[in-house]
Structure 1
Amino acid sequence: MNTTRNSVALGCLALAGLASPAASAQDSGWYAGGGIGRATSSIDDERIRAGLANQGLATSGMAHDERDVAYRLFGGYQFNRHFGMEAGWFDLGRFGFTADTAPPGRLTGDVRMRGFNLDLVGTLPLTERFALLGRAGVVHAQTRGSFGATGAVSNPYGATSTSERDVGFKLGAGFAWQMSPAWQLRAEAERYRIDDTVGNKGNVDVVSLSVVYRFGASAAPPPRAAAAPAPAPVIAASPAPAPAPVSVPPALPPADPVAPPSAPARVRFSADALFDFDRSTLRPEGQRQLDAFAQQLRGVRHDGVQVIGHTDRIGSKAYNLRLSQQRAAAVQTHLGQAGVAVAGMSSRGAGEEQPVTIPGDCKGNQPTAALVKCLQPDRRVEVEVTGTR
């Protein structure tokens, strides 16, 4: 059989140029997964007909079995947000044909393909949870063939059973959806280039769905109640001292009270209480906390309101800066909708540059549950208010 025709056009999507910032959940660590899909090969009719013609036979009919269910199991290591190495086992299923001849005879054949692969996997994040995948790798496949001939047909392959071990290559592309910090769903199309046991190199195309589990990545810790917002600063004016009594002229009236310059008050909210893990959309509980804070600010004349987003150090600096900016902007927008005067209100992201935790307290670089919990104070949004009541 020759599998040179193909049903799925593939490319190795951008294994170079995957260094743009943004999005999936975990930078590094071990993972494992499994997938199921459909494998498609193509039977080389012309080659089979030519072989039968060499025996003086005309092909009167041809039936194909060119599709089967494919399975794979794999494990790998993610070096950083963009590159990983993956090893796996695959079963591409069974493909076959039946050729009838005149004078009456029949030639049958089927081939089963299994093996192991080693791939370099590239990831191009597009959003916080969605990413493109590209892969290129080598395969070591074992292909077993079974052939039969009846009637006027002689077996052109010289044996009823064949076995071939061969090294080939594969390319693939697809999408990944981060369902949670630990679980990922992948949809991929791959092409395997391997031997079919009778001396022909050919293609087998596979479209599959896979589920991936990342070790050491747990769900985000339960949100801790944010510290109660500090009351809005109320600065009372101190009455001017009474003038010293004199006989002439009459005592001057007290001066009008003057408010001293207002000192900024800073309120800190836990990002885990405001947002889901790795997201910048406010949770209902987070909205309620901000609504309560906006209620406390009513009646305060704002000289300025600044919202500052902070992240922990897990992940790249560029990604953390972007996430902190998005979260600060979300808080600013909600406070404006809750009635806080928009004039004089601004937001910015500080990323991971201003941690609350002390270096050395939270050890390690892998996003384990223990490290995520230890760095929780660093994930925060601060609102700085300057004003008088």
Structure 2
Amino acid sequence: MRMILSSVLVALAAGVSMPASAVENGPGVYAGVQLGQASSSNDRYERDDLSIGLRTGYQINKHIGVELFSNSLSFIEVGYGFNRNEPAHPEEHYGIAVTGTFPLNERFDLTGRAGIGRTKMHAVVVGKDDYNETDPSIGGGVRFNFNPHWSMNAEAMRLTKTKVTVISTGFRYQF
């Protein structure tokens, strides 16, 4: 959480120190990387762990885009292996999302996302197999545009079926 707050503060400081010139994010392909924290809870465990995300997409116009994404959830648990009711743990999520952007000023944007994907569930019980869940996702955040190519964002994403929340910050490069 400290890393996310520090990243947001750096982006704000950079925004204040840069000249106020408009940055236009027009159509184009982009790629990004995210680093943050995944939080999950169910009847048997509640964990926070590192999440690393990769994204690639196409910005259709300055307000709408389509994105392919993947997030590691890293919930590494060692079960006792004897209790057949031991829950599976979310390990990885990948999917597709429609993204939206609402400009606040020349450099800051509010962002939103709605998507669907697959979450790999890791079974820790001996004799049970891993499986995948179809998992809708929603999210929102804020983005700071350094120039027409580079931007930094902070966001929260919720995987609704597996009840995982990912809070992250990252960078995006638009080609």
Output the TM-score relative to the length of structure 1.
0.36
Specify the alignment match of 2:58 in structure 1: 77
Quick one: distance in 1 between partners of 2:72 and 2:104?
A: 31
Q: Deviations over 1:244-272 (max 9, x none)?
A: xxxxxxxxxxxxxxxxxxxxxxxxxxxxx
Offset at residue 127 of structure 1 (A): 0.6
1:32 corresponding residue in structure 2: 31
Tell me the equivalent position of 1:204.
164
Write the distance in 2 (CA, Å) between the matches of 1:32 and 1:116. Answer: 15
- Residues 75 and 118 (structure 1), Cα distance of their counterparts in 2 relative to 1, 3 Å cut: same
**Aligned counterparts, 1:188-267, within 5 A:** 188-194=155-161, 202-215=162-175
Q: Match of 2:5?
A: none
The correspondence for 1:90, drawn from 58, 65, 71, is: 71
Q: 1:361 is matched with which residue?
A: none
Out of 123, 126, 135, the position equivalent to 2:113 is 135
Displacement of 1:168 in angstroms is: 1.6
Larger strand share, 1 or 2? 2
Distance 1:83 1:180 in 2: 19
In 2: Cα distance, 1:210 partner to 1:135 partner: 15
Q: Which residue pairs with 1:166 in the alignment?
A: 133
Q: Which has the larger radius of gyration?
A: 1
Could you say which residue in structure 1 is the equivalent of 2:146?
A: 179
Q: How many equivalent residue pairs?
A: 151
Q: Deviations over 1:137-174 (max 9, x none)?
A: 00122212112xxxxxxxxxxx4442112212000000
Q: Which of 1 and 2 has higher RCO (CA within 8 Å, sep 6+)?
A: 2
Aligned-pair CA distance for 1:116: 1.6
Tell me, in whole angstroms, the C-alpha distance in 1 between the residues paired with 2:103 and 2:70.
26
Q: Distance in 1 between matches of 2:43 and 2:62?
A: 42
Q: 1:115 aligns with which of 93, 105, 125?
A: 93
In structure 2, the residue matched to 1:283 is none
Matched, 1:144 2:122: yes
Structure 1: 5+ residue stretches without partners: 1-22, 46-63, 100-105, 148-158, 195-201, 216-389
Alignment check: 8 A CA contact 2:39 2:46 kept: no
- The amino acid of 1:206's aligned partner reads V
| Cα shift at 1:109 | 6.2
The C-alpha deviation readout for 1:60-103, integer Å capped at 9, x for no partner, is: xxxx451110111110011111000001122111154878xxxx
1:258-297 superposed matches below 5 A: none
Paired with 1:185 and 1:140, the residues of 2 have a C-alpha distance of: 26
Change (3 A) 1:86 1:135: same
Q: Report how far residue 26 of structure 1 moved.
A: 1.5
Runs ≥4 residues deviating over 6 A: none
Structure-1 residue corresponding to 2:8: none
Query: What's the CA shift string for 1:343-367, capped at 9, x where partnerless?
Result: xxxxxxxxxxxxxxxxxxxxxxxxx
The 8 Å contact of residues 88 and 124 in structure 2, kept in 1 or not, is answered as yes
CA deviations on 1:266-319 (whole Å, 9 max, x unpaired) are xxxxxxxxxxxxxxxxxxxxxxxxxxxxxxxxxxxxxxxxxxxxxxxxxxxxxx
CA distance in 2, matches of 1:124, 1:68: 30
Letter in structure 1 aligned against 2:134: V
Paired letter, 1:33? G
Q: CA RMSD in A?
A: 2.2
| Displacement after TM superposition at 1:111 (Å) | 2.0
Change (3 A) 1:98 1:114: closer
Does the 8 A contact of 2:32 with 2:173 survive in 1? yes
Structure with greater helix percent: 1
CA distance in 1, matches of 2:42, 2:137: 20
Q: 2:88 touches 2:123 (CA, 8 Å); kept in 1?
A: yes
